[in-house]
Structure 1
Amino acid sequence: MSSPILTPDVAIVGAGPAGLAAATALGDKHGISALVLDREQTAGGIPRHCDHPGYGIRDLHTFISGPNYAKRLTEAAVRAGADIRTSATVTAMSADRTLQVTTPAGLLTIAPKALVLATGARERARPARLIPGDRPQGVYTTGQLQNIVHLQHKKVGKHAVIVGAELVSWSAAMTLRHAGCRPVLMTTEYPSPESYAAFNIPGTTLLRVPVRTRTRIVGITGKHHLESVEVENIDTGARDHIACDTLIFSGDWIPDHELPRAAGITLDPATLGPLVDTALRTDAPGVFAAGNMLHPVDTADIAALDGTHVADRVADYLATPSWASPQQLRITCEAPLRWVAPGLMAPGEPAPPRQRLLLWTDELVRRPRVAIHQDGHLVASKTLPWPASPGRVFRVPWSIMDRVRPDGGDVSVSIDNARATGFVPGRRALIGVG
């Protein structure tokens, strides 16, 4: 017996901030009811797991906890007419947008006129980071930790080491404190903590978490339960053992890209997410992508604003279903920049979300001088008053691209006053990743 076939105008895979915001904008602004699919039992995405404030600043202009933020986004999407189906796992996708979905009620085939991929990103677990040693209990990613503590209401250990010193690392520290587990060390390979000073200073003083820079975990000990980790100073090679019963791997993100990869959609080799233009279009007709599967990883409100942006582009496509665009130029970047999003542009087309070019750097540059080259020639440069800092997205005004020639070659973005030391933490984690 064949599975039922649904043919909505728009299907959205992922009920996190990007997917829910897209569904809300499609309904409220364009009168289009979207079908939203999510494999979790409850809509809302990662913010559901983060029971601390700091959500909704840019999109909702408020300052609330993750669960409240997820609830507001979900309720807004429902009011806008979205059909949200949870416990719905997309098991296959084809380039013509057809989805095979497993649900509690059985199998579904969904053939939408337009498709938005908003499956987000995940942290690399210990196996992908190639850290040797024993395989004891007590080793988690931040996402696993928050699920255990905030959703399952279970306990972890008593003393924890956190790998990474970015925004999500401090989120992990707060979750550990909530669970009665004391963070005894935060370790980062970078020369300085990656998160904003507004998080570093309260974290080190109020949470009293010591941070070791230029260090990495090189060994894990514990036959059944975690007993200690071995920490190495990258510059001196000195090592010591830190006693702990909990180890949290934070950051080091990778997009949930299995669906577009299996469908043959072109991926950006730098981000590992779908390669898109400023309209967030992939190279598969009618297939868009939004949120942290494009820029792993940014804050939830930025992902939501991606969803709002892509809704307009989807509505344009449904009104005039053409995938043709002016000649697109490839946008790449040079070290210490690791990736840039979007990776394609067509001069004269709409700017990307928030009129920002998003990049990731492996080196701290406090007053970066951003340069744009085309055909080997400098076409624009601008010194920005905010830093390019590892561990968080570096935002560059899109106006810097105004002088790019439509009839020219591809475009390269660089930071002219970077030291270009070649230091790229975490690159070994890319080995063996599909």
Structure 2
Amino acid sequence: MNVITTDVAIVGGGPAGLTAAAELASAGDLNVTVLERESAAGGIPRHSDHPGYGMRDMRTFISGPTYARRLVERAVAAGVDIHTRSMVTGWNGDTSLEVTAPEGRRRIDARAVILATGARERPRPARMIPGDRCAGVYTTGHLQNLVHLQHRTVGRRAVVVGAELVSYSAVLTLKHVGCETVLMTTPYPSPESYAVFNVAGRTPLLGAHVATRTRVTRIIGKPTLAAVEVENIDTGQRRIVECDTLVLTGDWIPDHELARSAGLDMDTGTLGPLTDPAMRTSRPGVFAVGNLLHPVDTADIAALDGRHVAGPVRDYLRGSRGPADGVRLRVDAPLRWISPGIICPGDGPPPRHRLLTWTDTLVRVPRVVARQDGRVVGRRTLPWPASPGRVFRVPSSILDGVDPRGGEVTVSLR
């Protein structure tokens, strides 16, 4: 078996992985290897051909493919070794990876590993939508891969399940190939996306009607999709909507198989590896970043995770192992999860000084409270809403009063 030795191996060539690689390699003192299973690096932005990328990390407003290309160019210019069509299939030690590529099997022996495997949308079987098994049902990622990379078309009338940011990305992709979005469904009382997208969706530009408090209860058609049955959750009333394309958006799950096979401590909320603000996992020398930790946030936030982790990885390679213990963070409903899931004494703040959370209920004026051992250690009223379908950001300063020797901290939303 061919063996490659490197300082840092990064699994995943999306925004988080490529940004981490460029940061670590830029000084010229580290060998950095990126392992990407696709035929080209760049991640999901490669096949998301609409503007809106790069605002936070590159201070620009560009299309997904352009953003992906710039990420790759920066990494290559820094001296990063990018291996495409390279699937990491397992571990050969704490920081040693088994890889399968068209050229054969190889082993990557690294001093540190960064997991940047991202997240994916749950397909139809995982959502348990009954009905006929037929062609014409996609996730957003599948749709955009077909349209923007394979240059294929879809149907003429579409129903989109979801009304969050990625849902409007799907609507734009459908419009690109002349497919009209006749309906968007969401179980929530209001669309999950930002108001500007909701307003734009109702204009002739997109023409997408959002049916709130609804869900798709049956898929109809053989061998191709002909219609879906849509139910009003509050009244139980059902109707048939004719369509030849159904796009299932959102409902994210991290690509966590490699993290699980390593035996890392996992977060039962995010379903990704449990990390601290330095993005250390429970295995020394293994770090995790991006949407593997908080499924799912925007590409530029994932990239800033990659920028943030470079410092802790360098510290580790210099001999720092970080604190042995930390304080566990938990959440109360309607919050579903929080990232990072541990805070450690002596660590700095998480990326952008923000705790990332997810809410199942819309709270327009959220009051966030942190409690430890029965006492309030932090309280903030925030000027931005907590909305389902997108990450809710909480200033990490709410944890400044936490006792590092105390018990678990619970963050709640009122």
Match in the other structure for 1:172: 170
Q: CA 1:351 to 1:30, structure 2 compared with 1: closer, same or farther past 3 Å?
A: farther
Deviation at 1:198, TM superposition (A): 1.2
Match in the other structure for 1:220: 219
Deviation at 1:262, TM superposition (A): 1.1
Match in the other structure for 2:228: 229
Deviation at 1:28, TM superposition (A): 1.6
Secondary structure of the 1:9 match is: strand
Letter in 2 for 1:276: T
* Equivalent residues in 2 for 1:261-272, closer than 5 Å: 261-272=260-271
> For 1:210 and 1:95, how far apart are their aligned partners in 2?
52
Letter in 1 for 2:258: L
Letter in 2 for 1:116: I
Contact map agreement 1:93 1:260 (CA 8 A) in 2: no
Secondary structure of the 1:379 match is: strand
> For 1:273 and 1:326, how far apart are their aligned partners in 2?
21
Q: CA 1:160 to 1:391, structure 2 compared with 1: closer, same or farther past 3 Å?
A: same
Deviation at 1:348, TM superposition (A): 2.5
* Equivalent residues in 2 for 1:136-147, closer than 5 Å: 136-147=134-145
Match in the other structure for 2:4: 6
Runs of 4+ in 1 over 4 A off after TM superposition: none
* Equivalent residues in 2 for 1:336-355, closer than 5 Å: 336-355=334-353
Unaligned runs of 5+ residues in structure 2 are none
Match in the other structure for 1:209: 208
Q: CA 1:397 to 1:95, structure 2 compared with 1: closer, same or farther past 3 Å?
A: farther
Q: CA 1:80 to 1:242, structure 2 compared with 1: closer, same or farther past 3 Å?
A: same
* Identity level (%): 62
Contact map agreement 2:367 2:382 (CA 8 A) in 1: yes
> For 1:106 and 1:116, how far apart are their aligned partners in 2?
23
Unaligned runs of 5+ residues in structure 1 are 417-434
Report Cα offsets for 1:311-346 as digits up to 9, x if no partner: 1110110011x4341530000101000010000001
Contact map agreement 2:28 2:78 (CA 8 A) in 1: no
Deviation at 1:111, TM superposition (A): 1.4
Match in the other structure for 2:247: 248
Match in the other structure for 1:184: 182
Deviation at 1:33, TM superposition (A): 2.7
Letter in 2 for 1:221: I
Is 2:67 the counterpart of 1:97?
no
Aligned match for 1:26, one of 21, 24, 33: 24
Contact map agreement 2:323 2:345 (CA 8 A) in 1: no
Match in the other structure for 2:274: 275
Report Cα offsets for 1:184-221 as digits up to 9, x if no partner: 00000111000001111011112110000010011001
Match in the other structure for 1:368: 366
Q: Structure 2 length as normaliser, TM-score? A: 0.98
Secondary structure of the 2:26 match is: helix
Match in the other structure for 2:333: 335
Deviation at 1:286, TM superposition (A): 0.3
Secondary structure of the 1:111 match is: strand
> For 1:94 and 1:338, how far apart are their aligned partners in 2?
34
> For 1:235 and 1:196, how far apart are their aligned partners in 2?
24
Letter in 2 for 1:82: V
Contact map agreement 2:371 2:378 (CA 8 A) in 1: yes
Contact map agreement 1:4 1:109 (CA 8 A) in 2: yes
Match in the other structure for 2:284: 285
* Equivalent residues in 2 for 1:296-311, closer than 5 Å: 296-311=295-310
> For 1:77 and 1:140, how far apart are their aligned partners in 2?
32
Secondary structure of the 2:6 match is: coil
Match in the other structure for 2:411: 413
Contact map agreement 1:95 1:265 (CA 8 A) in 2: no
Contact map agreement 1:95 1:284 (CA 8 A) in 2: no
Secondary structure of the 1:113 match is: strand
Letter in 2 for 1:393: V
The number of equivalent residue pairs is: 413
Secondary structure of the 1:272 match is: coil
Deviation at 1:94, TM superposition (A): 4.9
Letter in 2 for 1:295: H
Deviation at 1:80, TM superposition (A): 0.6
Deviation at 1:30, TM superposition (A): 6.7
Match in the other structure for 1:40: 38
Q: Structure 1 length as normaliser, TM-score? A: 0.94
